[in-house]
Structure 1
Amino acid sequence: MQVPPPAQLPLSKQLKAGTRREHDSVDALVMRSRPFESLERYGYFLRLQHRFHGSINGLYDDMELNRLLPGLSELPRFEAVCTDLTDLGLACPPAPVPVAPTSTHTALGWLYCSEGSNLGAAFLFKQSQQIGLSAEKGARHLAAHPDGRGLQWRQFVALLDGLALSESQREEAVGGAVAAFELYRAALRNIFPAA
């Protein structure tokens, strides 16, 4: 069976294929950082989440992105991260410098990375319960959407895949997703103490 070229794949599949290495690298780095070993290490993880979600928070209010992805403004998790920090008695740092994607299409890649992380958060949420956290205390931003993770993700993917983008616009989206993973990886190395 012949595999279609990337531009013929649904955008979500092209983004997944184009970021597999970055995703796997970040995933392995998070696990090596042992964020659920203790509340102290989880505090570092929350600071990491604050850095990432704070830097992209403005994308969720962008008018053009909300036109392309209706309901986007209801999905950010930055405020929940701030509340989780407060739950642990940690100060919520000032909001980080917002990212400035070079185009709307690049921003789509950043959002793909952020929303895709919500699927992986199911495992992280279970881990957080092992150290006494919950959807009401300390792990709000990892908790499932009221409609469920799967439904929320399928709706987001359907909107992404329904966009009529040129090949170069799709490549911009992949570039944005790669940049999002790179920012997360750099922030993790900056925030977590060296093992």
Structure 2
Amino acid sequence: MSASSHLSHPLRSQRLNALTHEPHERLEALVKAHEPFASRENFARFVAAQYLFQYDLQKLYRDPRLVALVDDLPVRCRVAAARLDLADFGVPVPAGDESIRSREMGVGEALAWLFVSEGSKLGAEFLFQKAAALQLDETFGARHLAAPDGGRAQGWKSFVKVLDGAALDSEQERRADAAAIEAFERFAVHLERCFA
């Protein structure tokens, strides 16, 4: 019996959602505090943070074990879109580090990192609309926030189905829980760096 069956949220996606509520709220407050929509310069800093987070996850989006579960996983990665957005602003691509990329992750841990990245595409709808006030869209400056092919909801539903259906033991569940929280904290680190 998995650890998740003992919790009030029987579905893994619901459990991870509940577990990450606090770090998610902290991150949202941090984003607001940096006012990414106050100017194009501020928005470019926000894009740099997005790029660094997607750079962290780039290898996971290509991981054969995960692609076997989510067949369109490679095209879901937004690192290339963020890189093009930075080029639009004439901003150099920040150097990422290998601390996450070089880590050996089990499927549960990897899915939890992707849970945070894929889930952010839902909130990106609001950000994408705000970017329009800066004359930014899916062709200039805000590609990484644009809706994926097939729409945001459909992409999320198909990912959640895989996340909830993956067979994990109790140790893998524990690692997944920790990874989801770490992913939010990692994005906060990138944000602080890019707005420093």
* Superposition map of 1:42-191 within 5 A: 42-97=43-98, 99=100, 100=103, 102-191=105-194
Q: Residue 29 and residue 77 in structure 1: after superposition, are their counterparts in 2 closer, same or farther (change >3 A)?
A: same
Contact 2:23 2:184 in 1 (8 A): yes
Distance 2:90 2:68 in 1: 38
Distance 2:166 2:8 in 1: 13
The alpha-carbon deviation at position 108 of structure 1 amounts to: 1.2
Superposed CA offset, 1:110-151 (max 9, x none): 110110111110011011101110111000000001211011
Equivalent residue, structure 1, for 2:6: 5
Superposed CA offset, 1:12-31 (max 9, x none): 11111111111111111111
Contact 2:106 2:172 in 1 (8 A): no
Amino acid paired to 2:78: R
Distance 1:114 1:136 in 2: 21
Superposed CA offset, 1:36-84 (max 9, x none): 1100101110111111111111110111121233321221000000000
Distance 2:165 2:45 in 1: 37
Distance 2:129 2:47 in 1: 16
Contact 1:87 1:137 in 2 (8 A): yes
Amino acid paired to 1:62: D
Distance 1:169 1:8 in 2: 17
Equivalent residue, structure 2, for 1:41: 42
Contact 1:59 1:107 in 2 (8 A): yes
Task: Structure 1 unaligned segments of length 5 or more: list them.
Answer: none
Contact 1:101 1:107 in 2 (8 A): no
Using structure 1 for the length normalisation, give the TM-score.
Answer: 0.91
Contact 2:23 2:181 in 1 (8 A): yes
Q: Residue 165 and residue 23 in structure 1: after superposition, are their counterparts in 2 closer, same or farther (change >3 A)?
A: same
RMSD: 1.7
Task: Tell me the percent identity.
Answer: 36
Contact 2:48 2:194 in 1 (8 A): yes
Distance 1:48 1:176 in 2: 19
Q: Residue 102 and residue 152 in structure 1: after superposition, are their counterparts in 2 closer, same or farther (change >3 A)?
A: closer
Task: Structure 2 unaligned segments of length 5 or more: list them.
Answer: none
Q: Residue 179 and residue 149 in structure 1: after superposition, are their counterparts in 2 closer, same or farther (change >3 A)?
A: same
Contact 2:137 2:143 in 1 (8 A): yes
| Worse-superposed segment, 129-138 or 60-69 | 60-69
Distance 1:190 1:46 in 2: 12
Contact 1:56 1:98 in 2 (8 A): no
Number of equivalenced pairs:
190
